[in-house]
Each structure stands twice: as structure tokens, then as C-alpha cells.
Amino acid sequence: MNTVTAETSITKTKVNTFKKTANLNDQLGCDLIKGFHLKKTRNESTKQNNKGETVKVNARFVWRYRYTDAGGKRRTVTIGDYDAYPAPKEAAGVANSWKYKEVDPLEEKKKKTAEKQAQEQEEAKRQYLKLGAYFKQYEKVIPDSPDVLRKIEVEFKHLFDREMDKLTPQDITAWYNKRKGAGCKRSTLVGYFGALKAMLNHAAGKKKGEQNDNPILEVNPLRDYSLPKMTKSERQQALIEKDEQLAKRDIFSDEIKQKIDIGLQKYAEELREQRRRSRKHGKPHLQDLDKVAYPHWFIPFCTIARLTGMRPSDIYALRWSNIHTNDLQRTQTLIFTPKKTQHKSDNPITVKFPIPPMLKAVLDNWRNQQREQDNGLIFKSERTGRELERKAHLKHWEHIKQLGELPNDLQFYSFRHNFISGLVRDGIPLIKIAKLVGHSDTTMIVQNYLRMDEEDLLDVTMLASQSWASDKVETENKEDIA
């Protein structure tokens, strides 16, 4: 790049003399270019001298240009420090070019500054344009959704080095066919792709409920893409899976309920017997489990799930402070925000669950047993004092199923399904059920739980068949008359 120079009456000799003798705010003017000058200003900084020593710098020498703008206003624009323009002719060249330009030097400088900032912002955006880099930012957006983040990281890590605006439908179709060929269910793959698409929507500033004021993408490149349609066999398999899910949402039979009780009782006795042996053989300091209501935290944990239909994640997060007492009415209410909905809006769902006597007894017994006086977690790790690991209940549930001879595929989550199905069967208004279980509306209940009893359907079919019976009787009567 060629440096523009211009003749000036300011020489290096004059500059050196000026730097030695000038007072603060003194100016060294140019006789050839009106308004061009060198000014001494205050400066609080340090620099290294020729010996490598750090010395304090109290003054700064700056090239400047004073001019009159189109509105008749006197203005001054900085050309740069003397160190940046040690040759007076170079600084003069900048001032001289401004002198003969029709644009305002300050406005032009602002424009260049804005252009530079825009370029820097664009470069900053580019560093987050790769899928993997943006994923790191997205982790901070939804820290309460580790399952969603895990889906993206596990399933699409092979695309983390790709820039998001370069992703194509072919990339996702290839991933879909590979995972489907490996035996992954379509319904599962739909969930994985939905998680990725939500992140891309956020990168484009278009994700509902989660504002992004600094979008990286102009548009989600997969916005209009849908996974390949299901084949006939996949549709049949989806129907089978739906039927299986509906079966899991059925109300527990009396036999299943009895077996659950038996499993819990056997587990409690098993733990107590183990403790008796330990105390008898050298460990008398251990707590006597025969003197407490619950020999293990899982038993009240399971009972709360049975009586409330709460999600396991919400039971883990419960604190004693979630129990609110109304002294006037002598009632208690469990008030909490489901984990699943905490990050979805500024006003997440709040569940207000009136505590019935049976549930109150469980909570009171457990609190007395724990000698809990503060507002900490209802169930906490004995080792860390923090929230238990989110799947800690599963090994205990598997053991109880064995002890109670329960079906192997009976999931702990079925307590929630049973709770909702039972209320539906009893004719409780759906909106009330939705509020109790933390749903924003009745859609999920209608789609997954609302079914007529088989006896009702039998009544319908009998009505239809009766018309045929009437026709037959009427025909036989006519024949007899004839």
C-alpha cells in the first residue's frame, strides 16, 4: 500500500524541539496546510525504553486536523499518534487528502470505525458458526436440559466441524438411514433430530420461548426439512409401539398393587435383617432399622410416586420448603415447578398439590426419621448432601420387582401413568388432572389416557345389534300373518 505524503512546514527538527519544550496542550502548526498540527496531550501509560526498562509516560503527541464542516461548525479530527506517523509528511498527506475531499473527515472516520466493528463482529460470529462451537454456547442456554444436550452431542458429533449454514438435508438423511439401519427406532430418531433443529432455530434467533438477540444464522438451513416418510413396515411397527405404550398407561390391577406392596415389605425386611446381622457381628454403632419407619429412602420415595404421580426428577428435587402449611384451614400443599418446564418460559408451570392424610403421614414420618429441621432436600445423598443421581431409584425398583414377582417390563414411571389413568377413570375433570400433574393443558391426557371402558363399548355394540333383532322379529311376524 502506497503512503500518501504532502509538503508541510513541520520538520523532524521542529518536532524534536517541540517535544522537549512544549507544555501540555501546546500545538505545533503547519504554515502550508491550514488546520494541520501536532498537539501535546496528557497520557497515563508506560512503555519500555532502549534498555528494556518500563518507564512512565506522562505526555502524548498527536497529529490532528482542524476544519469547518458543511454547517459552518469548527471540528477537529485525530489523524493518529506521532509514533504511528513519525514522518511529518505522512501525517500531512492524510490531512491534505481530507482537505480536498467533499466528505466530512469525522464522518468518514466514524464510517470506517463502524465498518471495522462490523467486520470484527462478523469474524466473531464466524468462530461460533461451526456446529460444535455453537453447541458450547447452547449448553449455557439450556443448562437444565442435559438429556436434550446429550442427544445432540452423541448423535451429531460427526457434524461438529461443519459450519451450520452449510448443513444440508443430505447430511441428515444419511445420518437417519445409518441409525435406522443400526436398529434405532424412528420415534427415537425423530426426537434426536428435533433437538438438533431446536438448536439451529436458536442460532437463527427463531426458537420459541428462548430469545437470542445475537443470531449467528440468517435462517435455519434445515427449517423446511423433514425426515424421510415411514415405510409400510415402519408404520405397522409404530402402531405396535403405540399399543404397547397404551398398555403401560393402563390402571394397575389389584394383583399388581398387591405385588408392589409385597415387594416393598420384603425389601424393608431384607434391609432390617441385614442390619440386625451387622449390629450383632461387630457393628453395634449402626442405626437400628427396627426402630425407624423406613429402612431406606427409596421406600418413602416410591410411596410419594404412588400417591402423587410425580415424575422421579421432580421428587429428587423436592425440598421441605415446597410443603406449605395453611394454619387456618389446617391443610398442607405441595407447591413446586416441574423440572421439565422450568426453562420453557418466564412463567413456568407451578403445581399445587393438596397433601392428603396418607401422604402427610409419609412425609412426617420421613422428616422425623431424618431429624430434618431446615428447608433442605427431602431426599439427599448421604455422601455429598446434594441431590441424588437421577437414576438412583432404578436399581432398588428392579430388586423390588424381583421380590414381588412383578413383570420385568413394569417401569417405575408407570406410577405416574396409573395415577393419571385412575383419575380419568373416576371422571375427574381433565383440567384439574392437568394442574395436579404439571401439564399446561389437557392435550397429553386426551391423546394418551382418555379411553372408554370396554363395558361402555359393549353397550354401544349391543344397541347396534338390537336393530337387527327387531328387523328379524318384524319379518317373522309378517310371515305368520300371511
**For residue 280, is it within any domain?**
yes
Find the distance separating the first CA and the last CA of the chain, reported in whole Å.
119
Which residue carries 416410591 as its cell? 302
CATH number where 186 lies: 1.10.150.130
**For residue 216, is it within any domain?**
yes
Instruction: Clarify whether residues 349 and 430 are in a common domain.
Output: yes
Range of the domain at 201: 128-229
**For residue 242, is it within any domain?**
no
Q: What is the pLDDT of residue 240?
A: 72
Higher pLDDT, 46 or 416: 416
User: Can you tell me the distance from the alpha carbon of 338 to that of 340, in angstroms, rounded to the nearest whole number?
Assistant: 5
**For residue 157, is it within any domain?**
yes
Instruction: Clarify whether residues 406 and 476 are in a common domain.
Output: no
**For residue 240, is it within any domain?**
no
Pairing, β 54-68 against β 74-81: antiparallel
**For residue 78, is it within any domain?**
yes
pTM tops 0.75, yes or no: no
Instruction: Clarify whether residues 421 and 312 are in a common domain.
Output: yes
pLDDT tens sequence across 313-372: 999 999 999 999 987 778 899 999 998 776 655 567 899 999 999 999 999 999 999 886
**For residue 3, is it within any domain?**
no
Instruction: Clarify whether residues 459 and 442 are in a common domain.
Output: no
Q: What is the pLDDT of residue 1?
A: 47
User: Can you tell me the distance from the alpha carbon of 38 to that of 94, in angstroms, rounded to the nearest whole number?
Assistant: 13
Instruction: Clarify whether residues 175 and 289 are in a common domain.
Output: no
Instruction: Clarify whether residues 136 and 186 are in a common domain.
Output: yes
Structural domain count, the chain: 4
pLDDT bucket at 456, cuts 50 / 70 / 90: low
Instruction: Clarify whether residues 358 and 469 are in a common domain.
Output: no
Rounded mean pLDDT, 29-36: 94
Strand partners, 65: 36, 77
Instruction: Answer yes or no: are the C-beta atoms of 131 and 164 closer than 8 Å.
Output: yes
pLDDT tens sequence across 123-170: 666 778 899 999 998 998 888 788 889 999 999 999 999 999 999 999
Q: Quick check: 93 pLDDT over 50?
A: yes
Instruction: Clarify whether residues 424 and 371 are in a common domain.
Output: yes
Q: Quick check: 109 pLDDT over 50?
A: yes
What average pLDDT is seen over the chain?
A: 86
Q: Quick check: 454 pLDDT over 60?
A: no
Neighbours of 217 (CB within 10 A): 22
Instruction: Clarify whether residues 51 and 133 are in a common domain.
Output: no
**For residue 241, is it within any domain?**
no
Instruction: Clarify whether residues 437 and 469 are in a common domain.
Output: no
Instruction: Clarify whether residues 433 and 469 are in a common domain.
Output: no
CATH number where 345 lies: 1.10.443.10
Instruction: Clarify whether residues 439 and 317 are in a common domain.
Output: yes
**Grid coordinates in use for 187?**
420415534
